[in-house]
Amino acid sequence: MQNHQLIKVKLQVDGSLCIALAPLLIDAMLGSRRNNTYVLLSSIVGMPASGYSRMLAIRLSWINPGERGEIGIDRLSEYLWPGRAPTRLEKTKIRAALAVLGQHGWLVKPKEKPSHDVYEITRPMDAGLLAARKRRVAPETPIPSVR
């Protein structure tokens, strides 16, 4: 898939329609790995389409909005270049992609030595999800009516 898109639609020469779906989206739809995947579009929209940051944001969907997880640079490279060890240049590209995530609301902190290639990553919380969580915590707060 080009530009790390979730869905790619192309009209073939013979008139048939070809639809390609990202592997995580397929897993979510078929329930083969887990019941769902959540990609907060506002957290990836401003990222460069040709860079690795958008792909990492999608692959890090196992980190729920507002929560954090730890992951090593070797695992991140496995997401981008499966089946082989990363080169020094590829590790540099991953660090640059993590910096872009940090510019878009993600909190990316490298762990202290000896595991300096392990990062603690916090996914940004969407304002709508934050409001919904507050409503669940405080049920006495009136829910605004939709007219």
Mean pLDDT of the chain: 76
Task: Collect all residues with Cβ–Cβ distance below 8 Å to 90 and sequence separation of at least 6.
Answer: 77, 80, 81
* pLDDT for the residue numbered 147: 46
Q: What is the pLDDT of residues 20-79, one digit of tens each?
A: 777 777 766 766 555 455 566 666 777 787 778 888 888 888 887 788 899 999 999 998
Its pTM stands at 0.61
